[in-house]
Amino acid sequence: MATLIDMPKLSDTMTVGTLVKWLKNEGDAVTNGDMIAEVETDKATMEVECFEEGVLIKQYAEAGAEVPVGGAIAAIGEAGESAPEVAATATAPSASEEPEAASTPAPVTPEPAAAPEITAAEPPPAPAPAVSGTRIKASPVARKMAAQKGIDLSAVQGSGPGGRIVKEDILQAGESPSKVSSTPTATLEALTVPVSNMRKSIAKALVASKTQAPHFYLQIEVDGAPLAKFRAALNKKYADLPVEQGGNKFTVNDLTLKAAAEAVRQVPAINRSWGESIVQHGTVQLAFGVAIDDGLVTPVIPSAETKSLHQISAEAKALIKKARNKKLAPNEMSGSTLTVTNLGMFGISDFYGIINPSNAAILSVGATIKRPVVDEHNQIVIGHTMKVGLSGDHRVIDGAVGAQYLQALKNILENPALMLV
């Protein structure tokens, strides 16, 4: 007897999912653990796992259709078996959308585990330009750099998975004219972009946060030189070692995440949530922002205050890789108590984030900028300044708590050996 596969509830707030594409076609054999479809939820695009064995005898929804949670999307049975009739629940895609046709995808070469700014190595044959229909596949960092350098993305050959344009492609394009074709720069055109479930969810959550939580803003300047020296020393020691011997390349993001978790030990009141009562959490569920093509996700490092710098770095890299490959599980994006967002890689010196719902604060880390400063001898020297902003929920914490937390964070960042204690 055929078994129905329903639209799963892939996040705690999900009520409907958009079937992005089928990974198995009707008539394909499936086994327990096979991924049969990609579904866009309100938080991310995820793969639907099959827990049955047999043949996919019926697809009840076409690519691009919206299906409510619990609605049938497929039937698994024996070859030649008739699929059961079900009530129609799928909403057909709009005419303005161009859903990807159902097909069995070619194997995807995974990105190597690395820091957020590390990209896949360029394969021997030159890949085709990263254009899919009218959409150019490029990482957020690559898009920003291309805009700054005036580089036409449609003329750049991507070296990332599936021809995706990554940071190194833009760097090479800027250095070598041969990386960019001689075709004229594309003209601007008006576009109507469908609003994805993720974008709807982001809009709903952040509008609610901004309008319901009375934000206040603080900022502190950090001497970034000690942190840069500390990072350089760590990478000199560990970057070339095998992973099993602790080998790793540490990023500024790794260090700020560790420092943010450590500072909570000194000012635990920052780790609170608003509700029927104010809850001060006993662990730091540390979220951090990861930009992906479809929007923004905030994976969570659980119990971050208990973990070493090596552990935080490894977990952050693994979560970033999962986010960019759309493999994050719902439990890896929920339950945060504090959030860190970093735009330093874009050259942004200071900004303020919108508080993640249920958090009391969000940290905003800017780039380290060289500028004149007055040293302890009252001499003007070239300093390395990093600005860290804090947006706080005034219902939960007051300015003094935010200020104390930023002072504790500054002390750790300027004395980074404290992260190893």
CATH value at residue 405 = 3.30.559.10
Number of Cβ atoms within 10 Å of the Cβ of 288 = 27
Higher-pLDDT residue of 314, 157: 314
Closest residue by Cα to residue 45 from 26, 75, 23, 74: 23
Our answer to whether residue 215 is catalytic in this structure is no
Residues 189 and 205 in one domain: no
Q: Is the pLDDT of residue 31 over 60?
A: yes
Q: What is the pLDDT of residue 413?
A: 97
Among residues 310, 377, 384, 394, the one annotated as catalytic is: 394
Neighbouring residues of 69: CB distance < 8 A, sequence distance ≥ 6: 6, 7, 8, 9, 14, 15, 16, 17
What's the DSSP call for residue 194? P
- pTM of the predicted model as reported, rounded to 2 decimal places: 0.67
Residues 153 and 45 in one domain: no
Whether 317 is covered by a domain: the verdict is yes
Q: What is the pLDDT of residue 315?
A: 96
Q: With H, G, I as helix, E, B as strand and everything else as coil, classify residue 235.
A: helix
Residues 255 and 402 in one domain: yes
CB 340 within 8 A of CB 257: yes
Whether 98 is covered by a domain: the verdict is no
**DSSP of 299-318, one letter per residue?**
-EETTGGGS-HHHHHHHHHH
Neighbouring residues of 189: CB distance < 8 A, sequence distance ≥ 6: none
Q: Is the pLDDT of residue 355 over 90?
A: yes
Residues 169 and 229 in one domain: no
Q: Domain total for the chain?
A: 3
Residues 15 and 150 in one domain: no
Residues 154 and 221 in one domain: no
At which of 172, 193, 214 does a domain end? 193
Whether 90 is covered by a domain: the verdict is no
CATH of the domain at 58: 2.40.50.100
Residues 374 and 276 in one domain: yes
Of the pLDDT bands very low, low, confident and very high (cuts 50, 70, 90), residue 240 is confident
pLDDT tens-digit profile of 194-228?
888 778 888 888 899 999 999 999 999 999 999 99
| Mean residue pLDDT across the chain | 84
Percentage of the chain beyond pLDDT 70 is 86
The mean pLDDT of 137-159, rounded to a whole number, is 82
* Long-range pairs, 24-28, Cβ under 8 A, ≥24: 24/50, 24/56, 24/104, 25/56, 25/59, 25/102, 25/103, 25/104, 26/56, 26/57, 26/58, 26/59, 27/55, 27/56, 27/57, 27/79, 28/55, 28/56, 28/104
Whether 263 is covered by a domain: the verdict is yes
At which of 156, 178, 193 does a domain end? 193
Number of Cβ atoms within 10 Å of the Cβ of 80 = 7
Whether 89 is covered by a domain: the verdict is no
Top mean pLDDT of 40-49, 87-96, 175-184 is at 40-49
At which of 163, 193, 223 does a domain end? 193
Q: What is the pLDDT of residue 134?
A: 54
Residues 254 and 337 in one domain: yes
Higher-pLDDT residue of 11, 392: 392
pLDDT tens-digit profile of 362-397?
999 999 999 998 888 899 999 999 999 999 999 999
Whether 95 is covered by a domain: the verdict is no
**What is the span of the domain harbouring residue 48?**
3-77
Q: What is the pLDDT of residue 200?
A: 84
Residues 205 and 184 in one domain: no
Residues 31 and 177 in one domain: no
Closest residue by Cα to residue 219 from 409, 42, 394: 409
Residues 171 and 216 in one domain: no
Whether 318 is covered by a domain: the verdict is yes
Residues 225 and 276 in one domain: yes
Whether 395 is covered by a domain: the verdict is yes
Q: Is the pLDDT of residue 114 over 70?
A: no
Lowest mean pLDDT among 69-78, 127-136, 182-191, 340-349: 127-136
